[in-house]
Amino acid sequence: MPPVSELRAVAELFRRSVDPTVPVRRAIVVKTGAYFGLGRMLQALLDLAGVDLNVFSDFDDAVEWVTNATA
């Protein structure tokens, strides 16, 4: 499990690598439990930067969310 400082660094790298003017949904799929919690922390950090990312424990749910622009 990475420390929060590393999670913030990953969020910053991610934020710098995306174009915020392009409306794109991003999803990550992780195991439930602590990894899901870390994913949600990353989601919150990126949300503050205007990056649309959601965390899922099920691949099919992630694909459905990414491809459904009205959700």
Q: If we measure between CA atoms, which residue out of 55, 33, 41 comes closest to residue 10?
A: 41
- Residues 31-37: what's their mean pLDDT? 91
Q: Given pLDDT bands bounded at 50, 70 and 90, which one contains residue 15?
A: confident
Decide if pLDDT at 70 tops 90: no
In the CATH hierarchy, which fold is given to the domain comprising 4-67? Rossmann fold (3.40.50)
The pLDDT value given to residue 59 = 97
Residue 30's CB is within 10 A of a number of other CB atoms, namely 17
Q: What are the residue ranges spanned by the domains of the chain?
A: 4-67
Decide if pLDDT at 32 tops 60: yes
Decide if pLDDT at 18 tops 90: no
Burial (Cβ within 10 Å: 0-12, 13-18, ≥19) of residue 42: buried
